[in-house]
Structure formats: C-alpha cells, structure tokens
Structure 1
Amino acid sequence: MKIKLSTKLFAGILLLLGLFAAVLFVNYRLAVQVVSNARAVAASQQVTEEANGLLRNIVDMETGFRGYLLSGDEHSLEPYYGGERRLVGLFSDLRTLVAHNPTQVDHLNRSQRLFQQWSAYTHLIIAEKRRLHATNPSMEALEGMPHRRLVEGLTGKQIMDNVRFHLGQFDVVENATRKRLDARRDASIGRAQWISVSAAVAALVLGLAWAVYLVRALARRLTELVGLARRLAAGDYNAQLVDDNQDELSVLTGALNGLGRTISTNIGQLETRNRELDQFAYVVSHDLKAPLRGIESASRWIEEDMGPDQLPAHIREFLGLMRQRVHRMENLITGILDLARVGRAAEVHETVFVRQLLREIAGNLNLPEGLHFELPFFLPTLVTTRVQLEQVFTNLISNAVKYHEHPERANITIGCDDAGDYYRFSVTDDGPGIAAEYHERIFVIFQTLVERDTLESTGVGLAIVKKIVERQGGTIGVESVPGQGATFTFTWPKQPPGAQAKAAKAAALAA
C-alpha cells in the first residue's frame, strides 16, 4: 500500500509535534527535580538559621543570668525572660523542620532536656538571689546564697556546655545534609541541562532528517514533472513519465501524460486534415482555373474567328473585360492558396543579405523608368526564411508602385532600424496616401481602397504580408496622411523564432 503525499506531510508534522511535546515533558520533569532539590537546600538553610537563632537566645539568657548574679539589677534579666518565651516556640518549630531526620530530632531533644535542666537551675538561683537582695540590697554577688556552691562549682556552665555541644552537633549534621543536597541540586541542574540539550538535538536531528527526506523526495519528483512539462512544451508530445507512488503528484503526472497523449493525437488528426485540405485546395484550384482558362481561350477564338474588322468595338471591349475578370479570378485563387499555405510549409533558414535581396526584388518587378528606389546605408544580414521575407518586401514595394498615380516619378525609400531582438524595416512612398479609417482595414482579406475595375487588385496581398510577419513574431502597421504618401513598417526577428526560444531557455536555466 502506497502512502499518500499528504499523509507523509501530516506524519512529519505529527512527528515534530510529538518530539516537541516529549522535549517539553522531559524539561518539565527535570525542572521539577531541580526545584525540589533547590527547595530542600532552602529548607536546610532555614533549619540552620533557626538553630542559630535558638543558640543566640540561649546565649542571651545565659548572659542576662550572669549579669543579674553580679549586679542584682532586675533589668539584666530582660534578655533571660525574653529568650525563655521565644525558646518554647523555637524548639517546636525546629523539631517540625527536622521531623524527617531522627538524628537531628535526637540532638534537638537532648538539647531541650539539658536546657530545661539549666532553666530549672537558673530559676532556683534567681529566686534565691531576688529573695536575699530584697532583704539586703547591699549584698554582693553570691553572698549568703544557700546554693552558692552550685554556682561556684560551674554546674550551670557544664549544662550549658552540653547544650552547646548538642546544638553544635546538630549544626554539623545539618551542614553535611545541606552539602549533600547542594551536590544533588547541582547534579540535577547538570543532568537537566545535558538531557534537555540531548533531547533538543535529537528532536532537531529527527525533524531535519524527516524534512530532508520529504524535500528530496518532492524535489526529485517535481524535477521529473518539470522535465516532462518542458518536453511537452518543446513539442515532444510522446514523452511519458512513469510514477507508481499513487499519491497527489501521481495524479498530476497522469494528467500530464494524458495531456501529451491528447495533444499527440490531436496533432496527428490535424496533420491528416491539413493534408486533406492541401489536396482539396489543389484539386479546387485546378478545377477552378481550368474553366477560367477555357473562357479566356474562347474569347480569343471569337476575336480570331470574327476578325478585327467584323468585331464591333463594344463586343471587343466586353471580351477584354471578360479576360480581365478571368485574370483577376486566377490571381484571387492563387492569392487565397498562398494565404492558406503561409506557415504550413517547412521553413528553410538560410543566410539572407537584405541589400542583395532588395536589389533582386527591384529587378524582378521591372520598376518603371524614372522611379527612384533608395536603400539605406545599413541593411543587415539575417539567418531567416528567405522566401517569406522576399514575399513581404515584394508585396509592399509592388503596392507602392501599383497605387501611385505617376509611377514613373515615384520615390520609394527602404528604411532599417535596430529594435532590440528585431529589426524594424520600413517601405515609404510618396503616393496618394491612406486615410486613417482604412489603416486597419487594408490588412483584412479582400479589402481594397479602389474599385476593382479601376485597378487590378485581389485584396489578398497585405493579408498575406500580415500573416507572414506575425508568424515570425513581428508586427506590421502603416502611417499615412492622404496626399502625403504612406510608410509601411514591420519588425523582423534577428534570429529565427526557434533560436530565440532556445536562447531564452538557456538564459532561464543560467539564471
């Protein structure tokens, strides 16, 4: 089963989305780990700060207690009582923070029990001191106190040293725990960075690999389709492309193959019909011209049989007019055949010296004596169809002579200019000119500007010229004012149309 192109593209998009989602999920899980470890480190730091605060309060209580023993001043006991009030909550909060660590809980419990012993001891000594001081304000230090030996024996100091020891151990354990948590946090950050980068690179590589696969597959097949289209455009209608992928591009390939077959079939049918039309035109021309020649011959036989003396003048005029109409009909048939055959015969390109061609045309037309025929300084040498270019110039020059009122005094000038890929030729005369409303009509078949009996004309010549020029890719037009002559201008390619197409194709490929 073949996979469609749209399915491949959809699968590629899903792959990229899946990789993106996977990278997001991995990053989320890693971020959770990093945040969890960071919170553990912060919690450990809080435990240390709480333990330090607890120790500071105990030290403050001890300082206040000693100050009171020395001075008997009740104000010295303010730190003692303040610390005592805070320590109850501090021990409870700290125990809550380290509830997950039995070792720390043990150190904390021992410290609290020792503190309670020290507190009971200090309460006893303070009570004795306050009672004796009340009866003897001038007493000094421990004078007269029943438990003086406890103080002098450093009982309280020993208890406090044990408190400091256990709190110190508590701090040592917490510092070790925090270092371990710091290491775990740093490891999780490094692992998160490594895994994130690896996942992103893997997603990028897989995405690029799939994209490259699709691009290469599409580029190869599109190149084949473009090649097929170019071969069809170049006229190779038998070109076919095999594509068994059974996807959307396969449908396009099938359409192009079908188009080529259809065009090839139509061209074959058209060639067959053209051959039939050529044969029909030849037969019709032959069958039409045969009775025309018979009519002309019959008119001459009548003149010969009756003799010039017995033939009335009006009959002789009618017979002459009959032969004139017969010649016009023959010329009309020939012109129609020539118009139909323009572009249907195989074009033979050859080197044409335009100056030499125009001189040969002037010689073949037998221009009247006194007619001035002028050629420009520059006339090009072309590789083109000589017969068609000759036919264009012959029609235009002969029309300039034919329609001139005084051909023996006519002036005909040939011009040539460079127009990029074309040469612009012109044929200028000083004849009667053409009104503006007829500038387009004169190129339509059977259109003439004078009565057919006044001047022999079929109205086909300019239609042939227009068709020849346009098939070469050029244009033709006329500029004229009545009474000031006319200038027929046409463009002719510097290179044959086939060579122009090849040059344009080569330029497109180079670009």
Structure 2
Amino acid sequence: MRLKLNTKIILGFSLALSVLLLTSLGAYKSIQQLSFYTREVQHTNQVLRYTSDLRLRIRDAQMSVRGFLLIGDNNYLLAFRDGFQAVRVDLDSLQELTRDNPEQQSRLDTLRRLVGQEKSFLRQWTVLPPSPEAARDLVIADQNNLNQLNTLLVRLRTSEEDLLRNRMQYQDFYQNTTPFAIIVAAVLAIMIVLWLFLKISRELKANQLLQEELTRVNEDTTRRIDIIEELAERVVQGDYTVKIRSEEQQDSLGNLATSLNRMTQTLEENFTTLKNRNKELDQFAYVAAHDLKAPLRGVTTVLKWIEDELASEISQQMRQYLDMMKGRLSRLEDLINGLLAYARAGRADQAEVQVNVDQLVSEVTEMVVPAGFQVLRPDPLPSFLTDRLSLEQVFTNLIGNAVKYHHQPTGTITIGCRDVGRCYEFRVQDDGPGIAPEYHDKIFLIFQTLRDRHTAESTGIGLSIVKKIIDEQKGTIHVESAVGQGATFVFTWPK
C-alpha cells in the first residue's frame, strides 16, 4: 500500500527523532562518565597532595624541635605547635576524602595514632635544655618513629597512585569516545535530514508532474469540448450528415446523444478531480501543520512522563535541559499555530457588513488591553461597509503588539483615522521602546522578529498576517518609528 506524503513525513521525522534521541543519550552517557572520572582523578590528586603535605609537616615539626635544641629560640616551639595543628587538619581532610575506601581509612587510623605518638615524643624534648648534643640525640631517638610514619605514608600514597592510574585510563577512554559519540550523532542527523529532504523532493516533484498532467488533460478536454459544441450546434441547425473527420473525433462518435452525455460526464469527473487535487495542494500547509502537532504533542508527553516517573533521579542539570526542551517545543507549537493563522488569513470570502469602527476598537480593547494601559481615540472613527472579521484581526494584532512589546507595565495607545479619498487611513500609535529605521521593512516579513529567538511569544508571524490581510484588501501598511520614541503603524483600508 502506497503511503501518503504526509504519512511519510511523519514517519521520517519520527525515525529521525528516535535516532537522534538514542545517539544523544549515548553521547550524554559518555559525557557523564567522562565528568565522573575527571572528578575521581581530581579527588585522587587531592589525596596525594594532602599526603605529601602531611609528610612535610611532620618533618618540619621535628626540625622545629631540633632547631629549638640547637639555638634555644622559642619561636621554633611555636612552629612545632602550628605544624601539628596543620597535621591534624590534613588528617581530617584525608579521612573525609577516603571515607569510601575502608583500606585507606584503616591506614589513616594507624597514621593518626603514630602522629599522636610522634607529637608526644617531640613534646618531651621541648622541655630539655637546648644543646647540640640534645639535638643529635633527638634525631637518633626519633628515627624509628619517622621510619614507621614514612612507611605508612608510602603505602597510603602507593594505593592512591594505583587508583589514579586506573581512573586516568577510564578518563582517557571516555575523553576519546565522547567526541566520537557526538560526531556520530551529528553525522546520523545530517544523513537522516538529507534522506528526508530527498524523499520529500521526489514526492513534490511527482505532485508537480501530476499537476502538469492534469493541466494537459484540461487543455485536451477544452479542445474536445469545442469540437462537441461545434458538432452539437450543427446538429441543432439540422445538419444530421455532419461527420467528425479526424480519427480522434471518430473515436468519440457512436450514438450522438450517448456520446455527448458520456463526454459531459467525463468532463465533470475530470474537472472534479482537478478541483480536488488543486484543493489538496492548496491546503498542504494546513495538513502539514496539523500533522506536525501530533509528534510535537508526543514529545511533550514523553517529557512529562520523564519528569513524573524519574522526578527523584533527575539531576538539576538534566532538569534544566528538560525545561529548555519544553521551551523549544512551546515555541514550535506557537510557530505551527502562527503558520496556520497565516495560511488562513484572507482565504475565506467574508460577507461585507456595516462596521462601526469605534465600537470594533472598543471590543478589541476589552479583549487584548490590560488595565495598566489606556486607549485614546482623538479622531472620530468611521462606520462603513466592509469585511468586519479581517479589520478586527488587523486591529487585534496591532493593538496587541503595542501592549506585548511595551517596555513598561503601563502605557498609552492612540487610535487615529482620516479620510484619504477611496480609503480610510488608520494610525495605531504607542509610547513603547520604538523600532530602529533599519528594521521597518523587516518586521513585516514572516518569522522576522526583533526579540530573542528563544522568546516563545515572539514567532514573527503576527505582522505578516496583518500585511497579508491588508494586501488582500488592496491596502497599504508601514511603520513610523525611532528607537525610544514609540511606534506608529499606519495602514489604509478601502471604503
């Protein structure tokens, strides 16, 4: 069974989204592992640094006591006390850093005990009279304690160096595989997008050929109608001997009434087919936009499931990513809705009715203007026969934009009007931030906005809809503005 173009687009984008999701998850996992082992390497380096500091501080503490015994300067004793206070801080830091390693914790307990013994031992020498002989005896007597401390510190350091080598191997592995995973995801995304582009291009080309074929059939049918009209006219005039000379014409003859009826029926079917095909092509924007909403809602639902079912497991960083995805999905939905509104603008033939513009502006003001803004109408607004719905949509967009893009919570909007002959010229003026002259033409183009692209409410379609409606009415629109001086949108509307 041959799938429709819309179905192919949906299936293609669903496949693309699935592949991108899987590759993105792989890349994310690789990045997480790289981050984990990077932290582990930093953690091990901290342990090694504290171990080296601890060894130096114990050695400095002994040298301080020895300096006191050699020179008799009490400042050395202050350095001795400060050194062991720093040793205690280093031990506490090492205890905290290695709390997940029972073997190292055991060594630290032993080290803490030996440090206490060393401190007690050295304190005994601080009360002796200073002399070179006492300093020499201290070095000899303390040799065994220092050897034990050094041996234990070496074991502690060797264990951490083994851990460091192992963790650096994992870090190097994920450091090399993470860029590869990201590149694979990007290449797959590009290949899928190109594949979708080729498929859609082929389908559109096939539709174009079909349109050309329908045009050819239409031309051929018109020619046949001319032949039949000539034949019918001559029959009406009583020329029953008339013959269709060409072979093609003889193929359409038999019983004249039956042939005419069959031809009429054929023409009706052909024109109906042509009309339906043109209608399908004309409404492609509607179908595409509506069908795009289905996967969009699906992705939104999946995000909600993730937040609901994994609420306790999602990290703060991941939650920020989910919020960013929801913002992008919201903006995409606004763009689709804006496309639908743009495609509908000016399509339906609305009956012309008597419109009181003053009353219409009052109704629009109640709908879109908040309490902090005031709408002034210094000029009398006319009442005339026109398309009310289209004029209301123009005022709604312009007044709504004056409020939406105002830089203050309060402001003034002024609606003016003057008769310029065959048209009325309306002015919608605000006291907002204004628009730089270089953007005066850009703002009327579809998807063009002066706001940040990540601002969900700024789709860049509103003014495009206004311009499309006014163009359908054979009117004109332009903006008069400068930065910091507000903006005035001036448009003409035929009477």
The TM-score by the shorter chain falls in which range? Answer: 0.3 to 0.5
> What is the TM-score when the length of structure 1 is the normalising length?
0.42
> What is the TM-score when the length of structure 2 is the normalising length?
0.43
Bigger Rg, which one: 1
